[in-house]
Amino acid sequence: MTSNLTLAGRTFALAYDFNLIAEAEEEAGCNLLEALVNLNDLTAMQLRGLLFAAIVVPVTDPPTPHPSILEVGALMDVDTIGPITKALAIAYNLVPPEPAAPCPVLVPEPQGHPSATADGEGLVSGGK
């Protein structure tokens, strides 16, 4: 699933995954994960980096190269900050959450505490 954004007459499909964000951080030179937590308080570097990370390159013949971080920055200006931020928020919210794997909880056996007991499955209950 993608979000679409038109800048300078070009339409870009935007989407995120963790790997794209991590790889773009080096190119952007800033913390992009921190930026995603608060889209209302972005630096110019973070906004440019998030857009760079989110651009999905369509499969075309001949292949369309991914724009460089400087090319992405050249598409941005004061008038496009609002639409870019909105499109980035939509793209981020479209990422389907991965199902959480059940995490086993290991509870140590109580060591002689008189108000705690452990059943055969490692579950601990306390009483007064």
Bridge partner residues of 84 (DSSP): none
Give this prediction's pTM. Answer: 0.68
Bridge partner residues of 6 (DSSP): 11
Residue 3: what residue type? S
Mean pLDDT of the region 100-116 = 54
Q: How confident is the model at residue 105 (pLDDT cuts 50, 70, 90)?
A: low
Helix/strand/coil for 70:
helix
Distance CA 9, CA 7 (A): 5
List the structure tokens of 78: 């004061």
For the segment 31-69, what is each residue's pLDDT rounded down to a tens digit?
898 888 888 888 999 999 999 999 987 666 777 788 999
Q: How confident is the model at residue 118 (pLDDT cuts 50, 70, 90)?
A: very low
Strands (E), 1-127: 3-7, 10-14, 55-56, 116-118, 124-126
